[in-house]
Amino acid sequence: MTPASIKVVIANFPALAAKYGPSGLQLVQAALKRLINADAARHLQTQVFDIADPSVMSKIGGPHVLGTNDDRGAKLSVDAICKALNPDYVMLLDGPDVVPHVGLSQIPGLIDGDRTIDSDLPYASPAGFSRNIASYLAVTRVVGRLPAARGETDPNKLIELINFSIDHRTSWPNTENLYFAISAEVWKVSTQLSLGSLFGNHTALFVSPTDGHTGIDGALANPVHFINCHGATNDWRFYGEGANQFPIALDTPGFSSVLVGQGAVVAAECCYGAQLYNYRLSNIHPPLCLTYLWKGASAVLGSTTISYGQSASNGQADLMAQEFVRNVIAGASSGRALLQARQTFVQSQMMSNPCNLKTLAQFLLLGDPSLQPFVLQESELEVSDGTMVSHRVV
């Protein structure tokens, strides 16, 4: 029998208790127990590590974190867990106010308004702790984050995503309506190139200005979403651009009555497309990345900061998003799809280029990295008693 794959959940129970209260922590822990049981049925051995507990971390010879801002301690804790267990999947639990992003230094000479880069990339590399992006070019781990926003007070927002992971089923998407895509007009050619590379056509592309809610809403049920629009910090909207216009292309309120395909995969090239800002603090709408997950998407690839791409060719964010989607529709788990995308990016791009370094650092996966969204092929295998069974080829 093939040994079970190993999945580790990186948690901080005191931080969860501070965020949701003791009763909220108990609800999250109960949901994690259900996830462990569900994963076991999927041949996954899942273990939860409280990286704030000295006794837990001392058993594997690693340090415990000293607080929610201890990104160095969190990185070293994950390194110790990975050294001890060599897991197939690493899932960071909750937002950066529970398990922090690692704050990486802005690249010298790149002046774009970002002082630092919030990143989950260091958790995916065996390299020692550093704030230099170039230290993490060796990317070997499958890592994703099952998120909640900074400052979230309702534990059910996180529990709902845990339940989605429990209930997830790999799907056979309708290849005739495989993707939804929308682009700012200024990046139309670049997006057409991306879609042609991935799907062999760009006939279903929406372009903003012109397209937006509600005209796009029917296509949001398609299983793969490819978005090449503008984003802004602490903003629940993605924007188009054309003729000095920046209309709303997608936004959180626009999703209120929209059907998103269960298990959908989203690749958003937009600036700040995966920023988990505190929407309650300013009484604003939640991030669109979280709205997607609450609507049933299984994975969102996005950037925590200002991202880069080309107008009439492909580079930086275009390539990261392309490779992620390519790997997912080939049957990879969402976490492995990102790992392979990062590796391909490092191997194929000039990593002395500051924009390429930043692209590697800023894109991350929101969602359970062990979930396999799609299987696209089917064959028939004969079992020992002579009957025929359907077999999904990954």
Does 118 share its domain with 218?
Answer: no
Distance CA 303, CA 328 (A): 18
The CATH number that applies at residue 348 is: 3.40.50.1460
Are 70 and 103 contacting, i.e. CB atoms less than 8 angstroms apart?
no
Does 242 share its domain with 200?
Answer: yes
* Other CB atoms within 10 A of residue 26 CB: 14
CA-based nearest residue to 227, from 336, 301, 130, 304? 301
> Does 111 map to a domain?
yes
Q: What is the pLDDT of residues 198-251, one digit of tens each?
A: 999 999 999 999 999 999 999 999 999 999 999 999 999 999 998 889 999 999
Does 107 share its domain with 245?
Answer: no
The CATH number that applies at residue 76 is: 3.40.50.10390
Does 38 share its domain with 120?
Answer: yes
More reliable by pLDDT, 385 or 323: 323
Confidence of residue 88 (pLDDT cuts 50, 70, 90): very high
Confidence of residue 171 (pLDDT cuts 50, 70, 90): confident
**pLDDT score at 111:** 85
**pLDDT score at 386:** 33
Confidence of residue 3 (pLDDT cuts 50, 70, 90): confident
Q: Answer with the one of 112, 146, 167 that is the final residue of a domain.
A: 167
pTM for the model stands at 0.94
Does 338 share its domain with 218?
Answer: yes
> Does 88 map to a domain?
yes
The beta strand positions in 63-157, using DSSP E, are 89-93, 102-105, 116-119, 143-146
Does 279 share its domain with 198?
Answer: yes
Does 21 share its domain with 142?
Answer: yes
Average of per-residue pLDDT across 306-322: 97
Distance CA 326, CA 328 (A): 6
Phi-psi region of 113 (alpha: psi -120 to 50; beta: other; left: phi over 0): left
Does 204 share its domain with 104?
Answer: no
> Does 391 map to a domain?
no
> Does 320 map to a domain?
yes
C-alpha distances in Å from residue 43, one per residue of 3, 75, 254, 259, 334: 8, 27, 38, 31, 17
Answer whether residue 254 shows pLDDT above 90.
Answer: yes
CA-based nearest residue to 264, from 242, 244, 291, 233? 291
**pLDDT score at 383:** 30
Average of per-residue pLDDT across 94-102: 98
> Does 386 map to a domain?
no
Residues in the chain: 394
Q: C-alpha angle with apex 332: 331 to 337, nearest 5 degrees?
A: 135
Average of per-residue pLDDT across 100-116: 92
Confidence of residue 176 (pLDDT cuts 50, 70, 90): confident
Does 242 share its domain with 115?
Answer: no
Between 89-98, 143-152, 172-181, 352-361, the lowest mean confidence (pLDDT) is in: 172-181
Does 150 share its domain with 197?
Answer: no
Domain assignment of residue 354, given as a range: 175-377
Structural domain count of the chain: 2
Distance CA 210, CA 92 (A): 38
> Does 382 map to a domain?
no
Question: Which DSSP string do the residues of 9-48 spell out, in sequence order?
Answer: EEE-HHHHHHHHHHHHHHHHHHHHHHHHHHHHHTTEEEEE
Answer whether residue 353 shows pLDDT above 50.
Answer: yes
Does 156 share its domain with 215?
Answer: no
Confidence of residue 177 (pLDDT cuts 50, 70, 90): confident
- Quick one: what percent of the chain has pLDDT higher than 90? 89
Does 140 share its domain with 62?
Answer: yes
> Does 384 map to a domain?
no
Question: Which DSSP string do the residues of 202-270 spell out, in sequence order?
Answer: -TTEEEETT--TTTTGGGGGSSEEEEE-B--TT-SEEE--BTTB--EEEETGGGTTPPPPTT-EEEE-S
> Does 211 map to a domain?
yes
Distance CA 314, CA 276 (A): 27
Question: What mean pLDDT is reported for the chain?
Answer: 93
DSSP 8-state secondary structure symbol assigned to residue 285: P
Q: Answer with the one of 167, 183, 218 that is the final residue of a domain.
A: 167
